[in-house]
A = this chain, B = another copy of it.
Amino acid sequence: MIVVVCLNPALDVTHQLDAVGWGEVNRPRAVHARPGGKGLNVARTLHALGADVLVLGLAGGITGAGVEAALRELGVPTAFTPVTGETRRTFSIVDDSRVTAFHEAGPEVGAAEFAEFCTDYQKAAAEAQAVVLSGSLPPGLPAGTYATLIQTAGIPVVLDTHGEALRRGAAAGPAVVKPNLAELAALAGRPLTARRGAELAAVAAGELGRAGAVVVTLGPQGLLAATGDGRWRVRMPAAVAGNATGAGDAVTAALAHGIVAGRPWHERLRHAVALGAATAAAPVAGEFRPQDYLDALRAVMVEEVR
């Protein structure tokens, strides 16, 4: 079983309109709503891969109940720890010319609530083969939260977050950290480019070297990995455009899946880039066409970086 931790899940609501009357009552022409947040994308991808997955995290209020119901409907098992605050929504208003988004912050999490989550987490980890920690922390939880969860897991952890939570999480020794290029550049405090593989690998090792491996996603240019078994640059033959958020979450899912399947590193990375490419091509994060995945697997290019 793979435990996916989503401490700040969301319900993503999109309203499409031809034009918006500000200060008026508008009636959207189309409405979409789905469970959001990076962890939930990872969980949906793992479920689609046939992995035994369990989503843990914090959920509360009307939206928390709604997110749980929607995941149940998608067949993704959940065991959220209840909180008194309200799980966040994101509202995106899409008109002819632009997208205006309203992002709620998520519930303020109390110490007792987080302690209860930790109990649930340790019970689940005791029966799991790997853990994924993904996304930002909700208000009220300290930047060292992921580090604590990594230290108490007792099994391999894949960490996908940013900023201080990433820096402190990496120092706690997870199996894999998966920043994207912008997140690594923010940690390094200087701009980075996807082209210089050896330099990038050195920066990754320097900033996040206490992690077992660092996988830097490069958007359409694939990824770069610095692992104990070697360094690789992995990409599709042609740049893949599409949903970058969804693609990054698919890479995280594939890395956890590769650990549990016992694949060697270069095979994990091949699957990760193929799944990312197939997911980028799908309209909705967390979804992919199996045929796209299989086609991409045959096309992926894996090269060692020295």
Contact = CB atoms under 8 A, between A and B. Distances in A.
A104 B31 contact: yes
A205 interface: no
Interface in A202-249: none
A171 interface: no
A33 interface: yes
A288 B200 CA distance: 63
B103 A27 contact: yes
Interface residues of A, number: 36
Contact of A102 (B15, B23, B63): B15
Interface stretch (A93-101, A123-131, A145-153, A255-263): A93-101
> Copies per complex?
2
Contacts of A272: none
A20 to B, nearest CB: 7
A287 interface: no
Interface string A90-123: 0101000111111111000000000000000000
Interface string A183-195: 0000000000000
B86 A61 contact: no
Interface stretch (A39-47, A65-73, A157-165): A65-73
A100 B23 contact: yes
A14 to B, nearest CB: 11
A296 to B, nearest CB: 31
A140 to B, nearest CB: 16
Given A24-B101, A66-B66, A100-B26, A33 B61 contact: yes
Contacts of A93: 102
Interface in A1-55: 11, 13, 15, 17, 20-28, 31, 33
B28 A100 contact: no
A62 interface: yes
Contacts of A70: 61-62
A27 B91 CA distance: 10
A271 interface: no
A83 to B, nearest CB: 14
Contact of A98 (B17, B23, B89, B97): B23
A27 B101 CA distance: 8
